[in-house]
Amino acid sequence: MTSEWWRTAAIYQIYPRSFADANGDGMGDLAGITSRLGDLQELGIDAIWLSPFFTSPQRDAGYDVADYCDVDPRFGTLADFDAMLAEAHARGIRVIIDLVPNHSSDRHEWFQAALAAAPGSAERARYLFRDGLGPDGDVPPNNWESVFGGPAWTRVTEADGTPGQWYLHLFDSSQPDFDWTNEEVREEFRRILRFWLDRGVDGFRVDVAHGLVKAEGLPDWTPPADAGSMGGAGGTGASGVTLEPEISDEPGDHAPYWGQDGVHEIYRDWRAVLDEYPGERILAAEAWVDPLPRVAKWVRPDEMHQAFNFAYLETPWDAAALRTVIDASLEAFGDVGAPSTWVLSNHDVVRHATRLSVTEANPQGHGLGPESKGLPSFEAGLRRARAATALMLALPGSAYVYQGEELGLPEVIHLPDDARQDPTWFRTGGERYGRDGCRVPLPWEADAPNYGFGPAGDPWLPQPDEWRELARDRQRGVPGSTLSMYRLALGLRREHALGAGTLEWLPGFDDAVVAFRNGSVVVVANTGASPVELPAGDVLLASGDLEGRTLPTDTTVWLRA
């Protein structure tokens, strides 16, 4: 196995609920993943990251874990997991799983024990229980708000039936936050890491890796009005309308629950656990903090290996902004000896085939729906998304691809209200649509029931009729299809070792053009309105049709240098 594979890897995110359904219950499962690994091998990715498949009441689509060391029956069994892992490894695909350490489900046995136990007990000390304020204790302990809307505290009823203490939940009320100052919590997560490392996983994507430690005394705090839902990324968050990315040396967000210094000690401890195992197992941080030099703290040499580059994800399709964020990323991660990562879509954001062309502000997590304004046509959105992907996959470092983007799937706007499941939708009384629109089950075969997602039964979110034409079998082997472009780009990326390359900006282009050389490949992306003359060189890849030697708007080309 190649050394330090994670520095250059193309990692494909599987959202198990929506990938492939083997048993026909309308929800994807591990056996479904196993059956489709050949398609991913053909696509040319190096690793997969699986969103949670652990035992869970699914109040937040599995990010509410009731048992960290077992598989939810909806997704299969531990034996199904082992079979999936073995098949992936046999195909040369590494497997990263999701670890959710900030909070458990309220159905976790520890939280159930905490509810049954008295205030001040050891059971309650694993979570953040506090007395309420005011004479009757009916005012929450502080003013923090849940990322999903509403207060971050819920009051419990004590065993004797009286109104009792409050517990903290930065997300849904079904997701109580652990108290990471408690050694028992720390020891439990070392055990969980070892459980999965022993089974052979190649690493962990660490959920809310900026949230575990809260400032002492849990002081009040009011987020700035323009923060996205994760409250930490700053800016307008994935709006597609900000032309300057939020890159500065000023610390961005000082929320007393995001990015506290104490989190780093936890990751150093975990790194030591991973390093006991052979084969370069990795930690990848979901840390929504800014600016980039602050994110880079998560990937110092004795901490994690990778951190998601949300500054890149949040950058609009604008050449100046892209150059700035690429430079800032390479510099910030380079300063600590880590690779930069790149990502355009995941299960929490509006799919980039829509997002990059939306003209109205749309903070992360708010989602899009029938009442949203400034939505692009399918064709315009896809054209820009393909150009953005072709640019991203040529950058040095590691790139993340979210399931379905290789088919050009747009955000699903017209989901019926009663189909929506994101807690954001419920906690804001429908004011924010939430994230369901990027989570709709994949189309595999145009002419099969559910487009081949599963053998029968309604998928857990309805698939739009227009997706028939986007089904994988309609695109496989078709020159110019989005799937073919991804496959070509991933193949060339590997062949030319672009992940391990060095970026050199090319001068002499219009301001609206991003142009660079990465080793033997020259990349030119036109974000402007007018066509641009191409430099010399054979065309290796084009994200859209070229007009002779000119590069139309919203198109990216790779040339042999």
In the complex, which residues of this chain contact ligand GLC (CB under 6 A)? Answer: 60, 63, 100, 171, 207-208, 286, 347-348
Q: Which residues contact 120 (CB under 8 A, 6 or more apart)?
A: none
Closer by beta carbon to ligand GLC, 290 or else 318: 290
Catalytic residue among 72, 179, 207, 290: 207
Measured CA distances, 234 to 267, 312, 362, 557 (Å): 24, 13, 13, 32
In the complex, least distance from residue 287 CB atom to ligand GLC, rounded to whole angstroms? 10
Closer by beta carbon to ligand GLC, 40 or else 343: 343
Kindly state the tokens that stand for 81.
């997991």
* CA–CA separation, 304 and 352 (whole Å): 27
Kindly state the tokens that stand for 5.
């594979």
* CA–CA separation, 175 and 50 (whole Å): 20
In the complex, least distance from residue 54 CB atom to ligand GLC, rounded to whole angstroms? 12
CB 168 within 8 A of CB 145: no
DSSP labels for 209-253? TT-S---TT-------TT--TTSSS-SS-S-S--SS----SS---
Residue nearest to ligand GLC (CB): 63
Nearest to 257 by CA among 347, 180, 185, 189: 180
What is the DSSP-derived secondary structure letter of residue 469? G
Give the containing element (helix H, strand E) for 471: none
DSSP labels for 97-136? EEE--SB--TTSHHHHHHHHSPTT-TTGGGBTEEPPBSTT
Closer by beta carbon to ligand GLC, 347 or else 383: 347
CB 357 within 8 A of CB 350: no
In the complex, least distance from residue 231 CB atom to ligand GLC, rounded to whole angstroms? 11
| 275 counts as catalytic | no
Q: Which residue has the tokens 């219950």?
A: 25
Catalytic residue among 138, 187, 276, 533: 276
CB 534 within 8 A of CB 541: no
Closer by beta carbon to ligand GLC, 144 or else 558: 144
* CA–CA separation, 130 and 151 (whole Å): 14
In the complex, least distance from residue 514 CB atom to ligand GLC, rounded to whole angstroms? 28
Closer by beta carbon to ligand GLC, 46 or else 286: 286
Cβ atoms within 10 Å, residue 414? 10
* CA–CA separation, 70 and 65 (whole Å): 10
Nearest to 93 by CA among 43, 45, 36, 31: 45
Closer by beta carbon to ligand GLC, 29 or else 286: 286
* CA–CA separation, 403 and 400 (whole Å): 10
Kindly state the tokens that stand for 159.
């065993």
Closer by beta carbon to ligand GLC, 207 or else 246: 207
In the complex, least distance from residue 252 CB atom to ligand GLC, rounded to whole angstroms? 17
In the complex, least distance from residue 308 CB atom to ligand GLC, rounded to whole angstroms? 10
In the complex, least distance from residue 65 CB atom to ligand GLC, rounded to whole angstroms? 9
* CA–CA separation, 207 and 197 (whole Å): 17
CB 285 within 8 A of CB 207: no
| 276 counts as catalytic | yes
In the complex, least distance from residue 366 CB atom to ligand GLC, rounded to whole angstroms? 14
In the complex, least distance from residue 347 CB atom to ligand GLC, rounded to whole angstroms? 6
Closer by beta carbon to ligand GLC, 304 or else 498: 304
Closer by beta carbon to ligand GLC, 207 or else 405: 207
Catalytic residues: 207, 276
